[in-house]
Structure 1
Amino acid sequence: MFIIFGTRGLKHTVKDSPVLTNSCPSCAKGNLVNKLYRRWFTLFFIPTIPLDEIDRFYECDRCSSAYNESIKTILQQSQSEINETQKQANLKFAKALIASMTHMAIIDNDFAPEEEREIMDVMSKFPELKSELTEIYENVKVYGNKNNQVFNYLNEARSQLSSETLINILAQAAVVLLADGSIEKEEENLMKEYLIACGLPKEMYKTLIEKLKLKDMAKLKEEQLN
């Protein structure tokens, strides 16, 4: 008889932590609920024993935006300071997303037109950052991860964004990997390296793939509706 075991990260609500009512900086109406990622020992893919805590963060119950726990302090600042913090967080998010997305697209030495369109579509959502993101895109497209530039953007994002947001960045970036219908071992290893660069255990790869599948399903549904 084979015994299949391993570890994986699961998200939980911190029940004894107060909810920050109507405090979401993104939608201004949602409540921020304290969440945590905990590593679990799994037996036959079933979580059985809770292990260490990976990260705590706040998640909006309305728009699903995620923030690291420093949001509690940020919310005590003036509105202009909150706006500036959000602006900087958005900048780090966009830079990390375009850098990792472009790197994933070129990792197999076959930069497909479909992959480029995915990247251009994402860049169009940040019109105010067009010049900065275009420069990052061109640099990574030509030089890849030379001088660890992609990992550096992920590390910068790690300093301000929550683990949930970092995983969402990688899940969104990894959409380009599905252009050929599958994720190769080399691409899987790359995503695990990204997780480590974000300060997350490589076991979170399963969580990343689950989010990737959800995003892919949502995109397919949107295409069918249009």
Structure 2
Amino acid sequence: MFIIFGTRGLKHTVSESPVLSNSCPNCNNGNLVNKLYRRWFTLFFIPMIPLDVVDRFYQCDSCKSAYNENIKTILQRSQDEINENQKRAKLVFAKALIASMTHMSIIDGDFAAEEEREIMDAIEGLPEMKEELMAIHQNVKVTGNQDNQVFNFLNEARNELSSEALINILAQAAVVLLADGAIEKEEENLMKEYLIACGLPKGMYQTLIDKLMQKDMTKIKKEQLN
């Protein structure tokens, strides 16, 4: 009787290791599953005794691409960087928003209660930054655009944010402009300066105002119907 024995490599899923969902760099939507390649002692070609682990790696369950285990660290670091960039962009947006809204509210020399309410509502909508935004609001309220601080916030936003985000900032600044029911010449000129500072055409001023006024009229009509 011949006894046939030897060794054989088998691939196993590491059940205690979490799957990295939708993380495959090759196909972009495959899940990365942690695998190990282990040698087994075989008897009559049947695996009997597990031996040493030859390799551990991640394999995509879709395209079958395989990656060294350090792919998990790389992917995690990339996600951390994305989260940090998003956090920074949100702060840049918020600082430019509150600075421009406050500056707009004082430019005509009359800081109306309606304008203050709009600014406070914007700050309350960003509770994780409230302390820093309140400090910016109070500083601009007292000193205005001293040392070009408001335009510095806008320039930072221009360098780091999309055009859509910049338009959003200016649209909310325009809400302050309209809050007291009248548009002073100083407010109009300042809004046009903001547009230029953000790299946007100053002719967009009238478009912003028209859309906001149209939005206000729609809101009033709805309230009347209710």
TM-score (norm 2): 0.60
Separation in 2 of the partners of 1:130 and 1:78? 28
Instruction: Find the residue that maps to 1:78 and give its secondary structure.
Output: helix
Structure number with higher relative contact order (C-alpha < 8 Å, ≥ 6 residues apart): 1
Decide whether aligned partners of structure 1 residues 152 and 184 sit closer, same or farther in structure 2, where only a CA change above 3 A counts: same
- Unpaired runs of 5+ residues, structure 2, are 1-76
Count of residues in Structure 1 that have an aligned counterpart in Structure 2: 150
Separation in 2 of the partners of 1:160 and 1:78? 19
1:214 CA displacement: 5.1
The answer to whether structure 1 residue 209 and structure 2 residue 209 are counterparts is yes
Partner of 1:168: 168
Separation in 1 of the partners of 2:145 and 2:138? 12
Whether contact under 8 Å (2:115, 2:180) holds in the other structure is: no
Aligned-partner residue type, residue 125 of structure 1? G
Separation in 1 of the partners of 2:192 and 2:123? 24
Partner of 1:125: 125
**Structure 1 stretches of 4+ moved >6 Å:** 221-226
1:177 CA displacement: 1.7
- Unpaired runs of 5+ residues, structure 1, are 1-76
Decide whether aligned partners of structure 1 residues 221 and 97 sit closer, same or farther in structure 2, where only a CA change above 3 A counts: farther
Partner of 1:191: 191
Note the 1:1-226 alignment, pairs <5 A: 78-213=78-213, 216-217=216-217, 220=220
Separation in 1 of the partners of 2:132 and 2:83? 20
Separation in 1 of the partners of 2:223 and 2:130? 25
Aligned-partner residue type, residue 171 of structure 2? A
Decide whether aligned partners of structure 1 residues 134 and 196 sit closer, same or farther in structure 2, where only a CA change above 3 A counts: same
RMSD: 2.3
Query: Which has the larger Rg?
Result: 2
Whether contact under 8 Å (1:172, 1:212) holds in the other structure is: no
Whether contact under 8 Å (1:171, 1:211) holds in the other structure is: no
Decide whether aligned partners of structure 1 residues 201 and 110 sit closer, same or farther in structure 2, where only a CA change above 3 A counts: same
Whether contact under 8 Å (1:155, 1:198) holds in the other structure is: yes
Aligned-partner residue type, residue 192 of structure 1? K
TM-score (norm 1): 0.60
Separation in 1 of the partners of 2:170 and 2:81? 28
1:224 CA displacement: 6.8
Aligned-partner residue type, residue 107 of structure 2? I
Over the matched positions of the two proteins, sequence identity in percent amounts to 76
Separation in 2 of the partners of 1:188 and 1:130? 28
Decide whether aligned partners of structure 1 residues 148 and 162 sit closer, same or farther in structure 2, where only a CA change above 3 A counts: same
1:81 CA displacement: 1.8
Instruction: Find the residue that maps to 1:201 and give its secondary structure.
Output: coil
Whether contact under 8 Å (2:101, 2:119) holds in the other structure is: yes
1:145 CA displacement: 0.6
